[in-house]
Amino acid sequence: MNFIRSPEIVLALAIDGRLSFNPLDSELTADDGTKFKLDPPSVAPEIPINGFEVVTDVYLSPADDPDRIALVINNDSSRLQRLEPFAKWDGKDFENLPILAKVKGKCTIDQISPAGPCCKAILIRLVITCSLVQLMRTQEE
């Protein structure tokens, strides 16, 4: 299974709640019981219609003293967050932690989205949605 997903596939999987959902073949059920399929997205061109933009002088070499670089993130940003360093491990493992979500089969964050911290709001919402859907399905079984 490929771990990189397009936004369209991520959304389709989140709507259905299963990583095995195939939006080309599988049907969804509306609240009123009717069955429907998702329409595929339109095909994007391999090359932009107006070609690629020609740019020069965009490479910045690494700073000689990277600790002096200040990273500025707007406090109101819903996309970016400053990641503080983790506390040094005290050598003890975590024990008796609550399970927030239990999934069936192989499931990694990369199957949801490899976006990383730059898209934290979207990623967090997708993880919560997929986790809740899976948790509800697990509780039904």
Instruction: Report DSSP state, residue 57.
Output: S
Residue type, 112: I
Element (H, E) at 7: helix 7-16
| pLDDT of 123 strictly over 50 | yes
Proportion of the chain above pLDDT 90, given as a percent = 5
Confidence of residue 125 (pLDDT cuts 50, 70, 90): low
Report which of 126, 138, 140 is spatially closest to residue 12, judged by C-alpha positions. 126
Determine the average pLDDT of the residues in 76-87.
80
Query: 78: Cβ–Cβ under 8 A, 6 or more apart, which residues?
Result: 121
pLDDT at 120: 55
Q: Give pTM, 2 decimals.
A: 0.34
| pLDDT of 54 strictly over 50 | yes
| pLDDT of 35 strictly over 90 | yes
Query: 4: Cβ–Cβ under 8 A, 6 or more apart, which residues?
Result: 110, 114
61 dihedral zone (left: phi>0; alpha: psi -120 to 50; beta): beta
pLDDT at 1: 45
Asked if 134 and 17 touch (Cβ cutoff 8 Å), the reply is yes
> How far, in Å, CA of 42 to CA of 24, rounded?
13
